[in-house]
Structure formats: structure tokens, C-alpha cells
Structure 1
């Protein structure tokens, strides 16, 4: 089935893409300079080759180029290829022409143009060839296997419907086994009771068996498992736990005991936390040294000149594990008694003229990079809420407190998806929470980079929900 081949073809696509990229770099260099790129006198050029390769990896990850390579339709495939190539060219031009300079490594604009164009041509040709091969050999790639489902209850039929709708799983269900024949909706799909199962699958050369019997039938399940092993039939147990949620779960084994987690949390791994913390410290230092250091005296003067009160607004907010912390911002409102109770609204009379500009461009959040350095915030994460809001919404939204498994962030997935600003309804807050939970379960370093990039873009262009 496709799932069995996906990893291979994903790796194949990645390897060939890299071969074409490096081929275009080598051939273009030889044509323009009549010399081998790997010769001793050209060793200063080799870091550029490394940069090209790393930037292609970054671009492909951002666009998810190698995701579902076997069942993504042709139009979507080429759209992803074009998006990846556009990101790649943009990053290359920004990195080489602006950041490190082309002269340091003897890179000419002519070489960049021809090598990128040649790579784009080769990449396009290869993707056309791959799609033609995929179309011609789709039946072979499917590797369809016959399977039976033991247990015709709701779990069994939910599984059957899923396999029917998701053809790329490669399973073809031939029927059900159940001790109660009336549970099977179509008589032709009823194959017999559970005692007849092993004999039937042996005679009909069925290689896979899904058991959806309830836990109360543990003795039958154990016997089916042992008989399946003896007769070389792959036995797959479908637990009833899926009833408690509508999303994928994470299963660990503690010895022979399976433990099902309600959600996957990448940041529970120490290495991932170290990567995120390192990025937080490095990025925050960069902002504090190169942006905050010169912008602070300007904004401090304008804030003091515009209205009476302190430069900074300090508010207690809810942090990781529901622990309160002091959150720092540039003051964007006139001093008032409701700052710790009432959210800012559109055209809020409490907001100063300078404050409106700072909130629209997110400049009022700059002091929070010191929160990041202290360690009670992250650059990217769920936005921290006022204590009274945490108490209020935790009673109204079931999973609200789950977002506090993470450190709060200066920006987050919810913010770039448009869920920022005033939350007038519980439904609006629920959407924000759902976005925060998605980030919790799907964190990656590249996702953080994407969120930071989009946040900077929105700050420069302005955001209609920032007020």
C-alpha cells in the first residue's frame, strides 16, 4: 500500500532533488569558469554550495514539499514545487546578496542567475517524469491487501468507513466476523462467528486482521491473537479509547503495557526544549542589542511626552503550569483603573495616539524579550492572559488550561492565524485555544521560524485585529 512506500519515495525525491541542485551548481560553474568547482583554488566557493543545500532543505520543510508524495494530486504537487523554488530563490538572494555579500566567495550575479535557472529547469523536468511514473505504476504502488474486521460494532464500522474513504491506506475489507450476525448491516459482508475467523482467513489467504472487540471480550481477543500468530496472519487490535477523542493519539509501551497519551507533545523531549530555549536566547539577544537598545530611548521619550505615567506597563499574567509572572510591555494607554480587568477594544479611548501605533505594529511587546531572557516566556507560544481571564475561560472552555503546558509567547500560531485582539465571545476564545493546542501538538523549530517570519511581516504591513 502507499503508506509502505511513502518513506522510500520521499527519500528518493529528496535525494534526486539534491543531486539536481548540486549538478546545476557544478555544471554552471564549469561552463562559466572552465574549471572544476572542487579544485584547490576554488575552495572558498564550497561554503556557497553548502548554503544552497541547507536553504533548499529549509524551503522544502516550510512548503512541505516531501509530504504525501504518492497521493498528492499533480496540480498540488507542482504548486508545492513552485512555492518551494520561489522560497529557495528568495532565501538565496537574501542570504548571499544581502547578508554575506557575493564578493567574499567570488559569487557573481551571473552565476546565481544561470545556476538557479538551470536547477529550476532540471527540477521541473524531474517532477514531470516522477508524476508520469507514479500515474503509470499507481496500481503497483498500492500493494492492496485483503483484511477482515472481527467485531461488527460501532468501532468496527467506523474503521470500515475510514478504510473505504482513504483508499491510500491500501486495505480492502472483505467482511466481518461477529458472534451476533444481526450486527452486520449487509448480509454479504458477514463471514461467520469469531471461532470461524482463523480457518476462513487461512483458506482465503487473507493476511491482515483488525480486531475491534470490546475489552470485555479479552479471552476471545487473546485466543485470536495467538491463533493469528500461529498462522502468520498480521493481527491489529483497535482499542475503544478512540471514542474519547477525535484526533490521533500517541501510544507508548511501558514493558508490555500500552499507554495511550491524549496528545503528542514534541516539547516534552529534552532535545526539543533545548533547541527552543537556545533559539529564544539568541533571537532575544539579537532584538535587545540591535533593536531595543536604540529604539527604547526614543519610545520612552515619546511615551512620557504623550501622557503621564510610567514608560513600562507591568501586569501579572498566567504562565507555564498556571504560574503567575510579571509581563512587561511599553505603556500604550493612559493610566487607568481597568487595565488589569478589561481588554483593549477597537477605538478604545484609553489608548494613546502613540499607543495605537505601537499596538498596531506590536512595538509595545518589545520589553517581553526580557521576559524571554528571564525564562518565563518564549518567543513563540500561546499569548499570556490576564489572571481573571484565565479563571473565567477555564470554566467555560474544557481544554483552556492545556495551553498552559507551554511557556507563553510574544507571538504564536493563534496570532498569525488572525485570532488576536479582543475576544468578544466564548467562541472567539475557543478558536484561539484550538490554535494554541495545534501548536502544542505540532511544534517544530521550522514552525517557530515560520511564525516569527509571518509576525514580522504582519508588523510591517499592519494587522486589522491589532488595536
Structure 2
């Protein structure tokens, strides 16, 4: 049976969320010692049937709502003022989302057709003609997609529309720029637009922190014996402490102390730090194994319990590297809008190891910023699963 890509994505997302909830329930049972009280049959039945049922119902709603809107004649007639990039962007999104229930009639703009953002845009007239067109054609919704620099023209347009019942929305042109977690909020009833914000506000912040705490606590309980063995091996294999401590930038650019098992003969934590490279003479034989298998990162779960780090997030860099790259890469410090992670979106996409060129670091930062834009618990779980698979065959781990 053929299933389109949208439905496959919906089912995959439902299974990921179901597995995430199943993992959280098991983790809570382990932490509280009540796991044996859970009914294995109930949990298994829910895990197998719940996500499939949820995905099927959601897909049915996605498919039926546009048909209901179209069949009932409720589709709203819409026009867009401004045929520039912002107007083109909202028209594209309107056409891609059938659930919006909007019928786009065309555009109003004072420019000639050959100067529009796209030749496919249907020009209905000049902006001065809009009010008459609204009255004659029964337009329901207007989207003003003019640059914010044209405020006088926007004010005149709103005055012309005061004797109509049309709904008017203003689409700021800043929304076509590269924004981080853009959304509309309110301050004392006044709307404000977020252009660069952390995804972990409100309920998202509670979910992220709860997930980190529960997972870190369970993992530390399970790996405590292994950590003791590794600490003893590091201590006995070469001179120096078992744990390596280094200051790095955490949430909002504040310095945090990050723990790792020592894998080198040195413990650099100054203003000049050389990155680890392939066949680095500073790496001990045991340290090479620990770095290859990522076992040197295990003490960072303690950082997670302390609230300094997250399980998934942008990897923290040494303070010396931060001070260098923040001057060279635009938007570098935005990655510190969230807590640093033990693993991250950049690492599971091949950006691990030495960044010997500026372009490699820029690529890593681009993935970090993409993570901020796309964050969800399902994405975190996906990154964790991909990290586990990469541990055995990551060529950049050295």
C-alpha cells in the first residue's frame, strides 16, 4: 500500500513521541523504584496501538478539514498588499497549507508587473484601488506585506479601509530574515515580536529540564560502576587527575566548569588552547580509546544533574575558542541561548572533531542554530539515537 511522504512523517513522529513517553515512564519507574508495579501488558499495548491511533486520527483530520472548508463554502477570499519577497513568502505558505481555508485572489502593488518578486504573482491593481476592490469583490482578509519603512503609505491604506468589514493583518518584513524562534508575544497587552529567543520558554522549558534530569539520573545510576573503573584506569595509566575540568561557556554565555575523563597528558584551561587533532601526541593510549568511544564524556551527565548542561544541545567550546570565533562568525554567540549539550545536531551530522578551518566551525554553528529553530523533544530523542549509532563508527572521533 502506498503512503505519501507526509503520512510517513506523521507516523514516524508519532512513534518517536510514543517511544519518548515510554522511556520517560520507565525512567520514572526506575528512579522511584516502582517499575515492578507497572503492568507490562498495558504498557506494551499502549506503546503499540497508541502512536498508530494518534497518527491515523491526525492524518484523517488533516485530510478532512480542507474538504469540509471547501465543500461548505467557508474559504475566505484574501488579497495581499505588496508583491515583494514578504508577499511572495506568505502566498507560498498560504498555498501550501490547505487547512488555512484561504482563497488567494491576487496582489496589489504600485510597481509594474515586471518588477514583482516573482512573475507568477497575479497583480490586481495599485494600492489606491484596493478599498474599491474590497467593496466590490467581497474580500474577507487582507495581508499587508509592505516594508516597515513605508509606514505613511500603510497608515493611508488603513484609513481607506475603515468603512469596510475586511480583516486586516500586517506581516512584518523582518519575518523573511533568518530568525531564531520568532513569535508574537505581549507585554501588558501590547504585542511584541520575538526575533531571537530560546525555544525553552514556558512549558517547553519544563519539559526539557525534566527530561534532562530524569535521563541523567537514570544513566548515572546505570553507568556508575563503569565510571569508577574508567577513573581508576585513567589514574593508573598516566600521571594526573582522573577528571579533566575546563571552563566553557554555558547558558547566556556564562562560564561553567565542565567535567570529562582526562584523555591527554595535559589539562589545558588557559587563554590559548590547541584543539585535539588526529594522531595528537598529547592523547594517551587509554585516552584515544575513551575519545573514540565517547566514554570520556560520561562525567558530563553530572553537569546535566547540576543544571549546567543538557543531554542534547550545542557542544560547549573552550573559553579561548569562544572568544576567537565570536569575532569571526556572525551569530556565533546565539548558540548560547540554550544550555550546551553532551551531544548535538551538529555532531550527528558529521561536525565532530577538529575544526582546523573557519568554514568547518561555521558549518558546526549553522547546525547549532538550526537546532534552536527546529527544537522538539522528538528531535532530541532522534539525536540521542543517532549518537548511539555513531559511537562505533564515527571517523571524526579522535
Distance 1:250 1:441 in 2: 11
Note if contact 2:20-2:381 (Cα within 8 Å) is conserved in structure 1.
Answer: no
CA deviation string 1:435-465 (max 9, x = no partner) = 2223334444454444444434444x44332
Give the structure 2 partner of residue 18 of structure 1. none
Give the structure 1 partner of residue 327 of structure 2. 395
Q: Which one of 56, 69, 74 corresponds to residue 4 of structure 2?
A: 74
CA drift of 1:324 comes to 2.4
Note if contact 1:308-1:335 (Cα within 8 Å) is conserved in structure 2.
Answer: no
- The answer to whether structure 1 residue 263 and structure 2 residue 189 are counterparts is no
Note if contact 1:412-1:451 (Cα within 8 Å) is conserved in structure 2.
Answer: yes
Q: Secondary structure at the match of 1:325?
A: strand
Distance 1:142 1:389 in 2: 60
RMSD between superposed Cα atoms in Å: 4.5
Give the structure 1 partner of residue 343 of structure 2. 411
Q: Which one of 354, 360, 371 corresponds to residue 428 of structure 1?
A: 360
Give the structure 2 partner of residue 304 of structure 1. 235
Q: 1:447 to 1:155 in 2, by over 3 A?
A: closer
Q: 1:124 to 1:153 in 2, by over 3 A?
A: closer
Give the structure 1 partner of residue 318 of structure 2. 386
Q: Secondary structure at the match of 1:263?
A: coil
CA drift of 1:403 comes to 1.1
Q: Secondary structure at the match of 1:251?
A: strand
- The answer to whether structure 1 residue 234 and structure 2 residue 164 are counterparts is no
Q: State the structure with more CA Rg.
A: 1
Note if contact 2:16-2:381 (Cα within 8 Å) is conserved in structure 1.
Answer: no
CA drift of 1:108 comes to 6.8
Q: 1:392 to 1:251 in 2, by over 3 A?
A: same
Q: 1:310 to 1:254 in 2, by over 3 A?
A: closer
Q: Secondary structure at the match of 2:77?
A: strand
Q: Which one of 194, 201, 208 corresponds to residue 141 of structure 2?
A: 208
Higher relative contact order (CA 8 A, sep 6+): 2
Give the structure 2 partner of residue 327 of structure 1. 258
Note if contact 1:102-1:108 (Cα within 8 Å) is conserved in structure 2.
Answer: no
CA drift of 1:84 comes to 4.9
Tell me which protein shows more helix as a share of its residues.
Answer: 1
Alignment of 1:4-83 (within 5 A): 74-78=4-8, 80-81=10-11
Alignment of 1:91-110 (within 5 A): none
TM-score by length of 2: 0.76
Distance 1:128 1:405 in 2: 34
Distance 1:188 1:332 in 2: 60
Q: Secondary structure at the match of 2:279?
A: coil
* Length, aligned pairs only: 390
CA deviation string 1:347-377 (max 9, x = no partner) = 3232222212211222111222333333332
Note if contact 1:74-1:131 (Cα within 8 Å) is conserved in structure 2.
Answer: no
CA deviation string 1:316-371 (max 9, x = no partner) = 22222222232221111233779961222223232222212211222111222333
Distance 2:220 2:19 in 1: 30
Alignment of 1:433-448 (within 5 A): 433-448=365-380
Distance 2:380 2:22 in 1: 20
Distance 1:127 1:272 in 2: 22
CA drift of 1:265 comes to 2.2
- The answer to whether structure 1 residue 341 and structure 2 residue 273 are counterparts is yes
Structure 2 residue ranges without an equivalent (≥5):
none
Q: 1:140 to 1:223 in 2, by over 3 A?
A: same
CA drift of 1:177 comes to 3.1
Note if contact 1:250-1:263 (Cα within 8 Å) is conserved in structure 2.
Answer: no
Distance 2:62 2:238 in 1: 64
Give the structure 2 partner of residue 463 of structure 1. 394
CA drift of 1:402 comes to 0.9
Q: Secondary structure at the match of 1:413?
A: coil
Structure 1 residue ranges without an equivalent (≥5):
1-72
Note if contact 1:336-1:350 (Cα within 8 Å) is conserved in structure 2.
Answer: no
- The answer to whether structure 1 residue 150 and structure 2 residue 98 are counterparts is no
Q: 1:259 to 1:86 in 2, by over 3 A?
A: closer
Distance 1:93 1:81 in 2: 18
Distance 1:265 1:408 in 2: 13
Q: Secondary structure at the match of 1:349?
A: coil
Give the structure 2 partner of residue 177 of structure 1. 108
Give the structure 2 partner of residue 7 of structure 1. none
CA deviation string 1:19-63 (max 9, x = no partner) = xxxxxxxxxxxxxxxxxxxxxxxxxxxxxxxxxxxxxxxxxxxxx
TM-score by length of 1: 0.67
CA drift of 1:122 comes to 8.4
Distance 1:258 1:399 in 2: 26
